[in-house]
Amino acid sequence: MASSRSIGLRPIGFVQTEASNEELKHRLARSKIVVDRRLSIGLQGIGGFSHIYVLYWMHKMSESDRKVLRVHPRHRLCLPQQGVFATRSQYRPNPIGLTIAKLLRRTGNVLTVQGLDAIDGTPVLDLKPYDCWDRLDGIRVPEWWKGLEREKRRD
Amino acid sequence: MASSRSIGLRPIGFVQTEASNEELKHRLARSKIVVDRRLSIGLQGIGGFSHIYVLYWMHKMSESDRKVLRVHPRHRLCLPQQGVFATRSQYRPNPIGLTIAKLLRRTGNVLTVQGLDAIDGTPVLDLKPYDCWDRLDGIRVPEWWKGLEREKRRD
């Protein structure tokens, strides 16, 4: 590769939540995103959007976790391994989480959101509005993905 | 804030494109994402998805660009300024780009995609499959956003 130079990011805020891992996984939890007060002005107008992308840093992943390149989807050993870039696994070279959360309220530098699956204390890297261009029709997903979804609906 | 510790990322690959800025902006361009060969195995199975999220590093943004907290949406001075987190502007504290691209082909460590708006040489941070959970119904966006979209359709 042309370069392996490191890229430096700084958290723009942190997640605060009392939800259990189970609640986070099922996207039921309410959480707060406490944004650095010096960046509050960057939130101006965000309340006009019902949903936002939250990009966050999965800070519990170790250097060796970042070397994992294949995983069994959702830890199902019965399913063939897939490359991490073909999954939303937390194991990946740059463990950036990407979740669409419902924006319930903004109070100063604090956003209250629903559906964020990041654990308490997670550093937040960026927030972006979700808009109509993010809503695609006619997408294709693999069979193993459809199978997992069918199972979920039977739960 | 609790911490301003820097977070280190390494590019997983780079964008190759001959498209003009205009073509990139209109999401018409075909581009290649050349992934680090050592990470090729992480792409296994990605061809089962028609669309992927591409997270990339907007490497042309300077330290002072990263301090901008409000912008006129799409450089329209007639529109009131919005906080950068309420826009998809390239000006933001951590200039991470997020685009959904159509995956046309994978050949070894090279992905051919359509609709990626990243310029030639852009470092890529992560790739994630786009799935049905990313497609939201009943979203709300602000009036200024709707106005810009109406204009675009009249072009």
Is pLDDT of A2 > 60? no
Please state whether the predicted TM-score (pTM) of the whole model is above 0.90: yes
pLDDT at B2: 41
A window 41-100, beta carbon within 8 A of B? 41-46, 48-53, 55, 57, 69-70, 81-88, 92-94, 96, 98, 100
Q: Tell me the pairing of strands A123-129 and B13-16.
A: unpaired
pLDDT mean over B64-72: 97
Looking up tokens 């310029």 gives B119
- Give B97's strand partners: B56
Give the pLDDT confidence score for residue A149 in this predicted structure: 83
For residues A83, A154, A101, B124, the Cα torsion angle rounded to the nearest 10 degrees is: 10
Tokens of residue A111, six digits: 């956003």
Q: Would you say domain B13-154 falls under CATH 2.40.30.70?
A: yes
A129 → closest Cβ in B48, B86, B123: B86
The stretch B2-14 carries a mean pLDDT of 81
Q: Which residues contact A20 (CB under 8 A, 6 or more apart)?
A: none
Q: Closest CB to A8: pick one of B8, B42, B69.
A: B8
Nearest chain A residue to B139 by CA distance is A50
Q: How far is CA B146 from CA A38, A131, A132, B150, in A?
A: 29, 10, 10, 6
List the beta bridge partners of residue A110. A34, A107
> How would residue B28 be classed by pLDDT, with cut points 50, 70 and 90?
confident
Partners of A84 on chain B (C-beta within 8 Å) are: 42
Q: What is the pLDDT at residue B155?
A: 55
Cβ contact A6–B1 (<8 Å): no
User: Average of pLDDT values for A34-45?
Assistant: 98
Average pLDDT of span A106-112: 98
pLDDT band for position A53 (cuts 50, 70, 90): very high
Question: Which pLDDT band holds residue B69 (cuts at 50, 70, 90)?
Answer: very high
pLDDT of B153 reads: 67
Q: Looking at the predicted structure, is the pLDDT value of residue A135 above 90?
A: yes
Q: Please state the CATH superfamily assignment of the domain spanning residues A13-133+140-154 in this structure.
A: YaeB-like (2.40.30.70)
